[in-house]
């Protein structure tokens, strides 16, 4: 198996000092106390400067998640006492977006899957829009006022995703078509503003120092706005509450299999671990845990900018889930390899999942240095295993073919990151494939609907 060695933010073999420093920094960045202090600081500064609350939204027209996000803009401004500033952006092809074509396609089918649960719609399309229609939509969007963006912008986006050229032409007659130079200028301005605020994706909301991705993270923004007493009318419901994980299931769920792709260096895997195991236990599905290498050890590039966002976001999600998280000690490199060696041994002892859970808890909640013998011993003992015997298996390499097979299976689903889920029916046919701990509720609903 090829294990990639990278440098910089993707360094898979950091020195002991660098590993410690980065771990301390991430632990500091995601602490509840620091986040509360930072929110108070930015809010106090805004008030001293006499500024209104401004939410900035970054719209990427050929991104499925943006099509969902644009549908909530009018409700957002009607519900909360805010000013909305809209930016047009393009998708980036850089280290922050290593699989741009896969991401664009996933945005289509994933958005279609989640839309009904948020009370939104997504056209029944089998492909992403072609470039000609994207350019036409951009030329119309460029000339819109903010108010028109929230109303007719939804119609433009819908026509685009339905490949309805006639519909777009009709809207172009109403709003006009901006020249190419104006479109390019609007995109450059939007991308520059996004870069200035240190992000890289479409369908993003920004408010006073924090980013919120699409409708799936809008609940965090709503919670913050409500804490600041910005709701226009008392007792008005939230725009995009998070769907809950189902708790009741049909007996036939026991005939299904849930494949769970995980990595020992993924913060999202760490916060999804206990909820996923709890769902499997409650529903009765057969759980098949399928470990893969961390992205940076598979040659996928990474940046500090992306790492900071992921960690802050994972911390917010962990608080929502009630999962212990945030005291971090980076297990990249040798600890991952040793961890998978010990996992194969632990499987033979009937403790495979216990070991993975203990490792994730050690690295992401307890701040245990798994790069030391003492740290790995604590993991082994937390899993209820014998350290004396475990030491004999630290250098085993029988895990590599297993991991390679899992990675290929994950890519075959059109997914390249973790945690990911594939739900199979009793005949082994795929019912659902999704990426992210924030899709566990969708997995639970598909299990619930299996009767």
Quick: pLDDT tens for 126-161: 888 999 999 999 999 999 999 999 999 999 999 999
DSSP state of 10: G
Alpha-carbon distances, residue 421 vs 15, 40, 269, 406 (angstroms)? 34, 37, 11, 12
Rounded CA gap, 325 and 314, in Å? 9
Rounded CA gap, 66 and 111, in Å? 9
Residues 156, 139: contact at Cβ < 8 Å?
Answer: no
Taking only the tens place, the pLDDT of each residue in 196-240 is 999 999 999 999 999 999 999 999 999 999 987 777 766 788 999
**DSSP letters of 81-145?**
S-EEEEEE-----STT-S-HHHHHHHHHHHHHHHGGGGT------SSPPPHHHHHHHHHHHTT--
Rounded CA gap, 314 and 199, in Å? 16
What percentage of the chain carries pLDDT values higher than 70? 97
Taking only the tens place, the pLDDT of each residue in 270-302 is 999 999 999 999 999 999 999 999 998 988 877
Residues 146, 84: contact at Cβ < 8 Å?
Answer: yes
Thinking of the domain 43-227, which architecture would CATH place it in? 3-Layer(aba) Sandwich (3.40)
Per-residue confidence at 12, pLDDT binned at 50, 70, 90?
confident
Residue given tokens 């900018």 in the structure block: 305
Rounded CA gap, 284 and 253, in Å? 6
Taking only the tens place, the pLDDT of each residue in 50-63 is 999 999 999 999 99
Q: Which residues, including other chains, have CB under 8 Å from residue 64's CB and lie 6 or more apart? A: 104, 106, 107, 108, 109, 110, 111, 112, 122, 128, 161
What percentage of the chain carries pLDDT values higher than 90? 84
Residue 350: in which H helix or E strand, if any? none
Cα dihedral 220, 224, 227, 232 sign: negative
- Using alpha carbons, select from 245, 198, 239 the residue that is nearest to residue 222: 239
pLDDT above 80 (res 383): yes
Per-residue confidence at 403, pLDDT binned at 50, 70, 90?
very high
Domain 251-448 has CATH 3.40.30.10: yes
Give the mean model confidence (pLDDT) for residues 15-35. 90
CATH fold match for the domains 43-227 and 251-448: yes
- The 3-state DSSP class for residue 390 equals helix
Residues 99, 416: contact at Cβ < 8 Å?
Answer: yes
What pLDDT is attached to residue 299?
Answer: 83
pLDDT above 70 (res 388): yes
Per-residue confidence at 73, pLDDT binned at 50, 70, 90?
very high
pLDDT above 70 (res 424): yes
pLDDT above 70 (res 95): yes
What pLDDT is attached to residue 6?
Answer: 60
Domain ranges of the chain: 43-227, 251-448
What pLDDT is attached to residue 303?
Answer: 84
Taking only the tens place, the pLDDT of each residue in 336-352 is 999 999 999 999 999 99
290-328 core/surface letters (b: 16 or more CB in 10 A; e: else): bbbbbbbbbebbbeeebbbbebbbbbbbbbebebebbbb
């Amino acid at each position: 198996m090829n294990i990639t060695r990278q440098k910089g933010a993707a360094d898979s073999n950091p020195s002991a000092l660098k590993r410690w420093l980065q771990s301390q920094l991430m632990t500091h960045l995601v602490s509840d106390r620091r986040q509360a202090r930072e929110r108070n600081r930015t809010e106090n500064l805004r008030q001293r400067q006499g500024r209104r609350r401004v939410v900035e939204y970054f719209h990427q027209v050929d991104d499925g998640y943006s099509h969902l996000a644009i549908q909530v803009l009018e409700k957002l401004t009607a519900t909360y006492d805010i000013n909305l500033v809209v930016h047009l952006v393009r998708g980036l092809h850089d280290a922050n977006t290593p699989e741009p074509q896969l991401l664009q396609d996933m945005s289509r089918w994933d958005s279609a899957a989640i839309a009904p649960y948020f009370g939104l719609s997504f056209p029944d399309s089998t492909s992403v829009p072609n470039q000609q229609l994207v350019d036409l939509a951009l030329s119309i969007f460029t000339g819109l006022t903010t108010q028109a963006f929230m109303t007719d912008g939804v119609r433009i986006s819908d026509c685009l995703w339905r490949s309805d050229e006639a519909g777009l032409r009709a809207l172009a007659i109403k709003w006009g078509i901006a020249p190419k130079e104006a479109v390019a200028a609007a995109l450059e301005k939007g991308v520059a503003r996004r870069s200035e605020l240190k992000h890289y994706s479409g369908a993003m909301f920004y408010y006073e120092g924090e980013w919120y991705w699409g409708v799936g993270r809008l609940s965090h923004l709503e919670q913050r706005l409500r804490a600041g007493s910005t709701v226009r009318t008392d007792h008005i419901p939230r725009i995009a509450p998070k769907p809950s994980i189902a708790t009741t299931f049909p007996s036939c769920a026991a005939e299904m299999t849930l494949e769970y792709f995980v990595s020992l260096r993924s913060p999202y895997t760490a916060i999804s671990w206990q909820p996923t195991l709890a769902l499997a236990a409650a529903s009765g599905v057969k759980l098949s845990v399928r470990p893969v290498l961390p992205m940076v050890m598979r040659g996928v590039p990474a940046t500090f900018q992306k790492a900071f966002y992921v960690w802050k976001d994972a911390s917010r999600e962990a608080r929502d889930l009630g999962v212990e998280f945030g005291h971090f000690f980076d297990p990249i490199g040798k600890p991952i390899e040793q961890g998978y060696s010990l996992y194969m041994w632990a499987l033979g002892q009937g403790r495979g999942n216990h070991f993975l859970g203990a490792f994730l808890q050690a690295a992401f909640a307890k701040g245990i240095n798994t790069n030391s013998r003492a740290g790995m011993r604590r993991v082994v003992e937390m899993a209820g295993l014998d350290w004396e015997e475990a030491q004999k298996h630290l250098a085993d390499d029988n895990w590599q073919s297993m991991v390679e097979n899992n990675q290929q299976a994950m890519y075959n689903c059109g997914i390249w990151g973790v945690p990911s889920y594939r739900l199979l029916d009793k005949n082994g046919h795929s019912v659902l494939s999704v990426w992210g701990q924030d899709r566990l509720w969708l997995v639970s609903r598909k299990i619930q609907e299996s009767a």
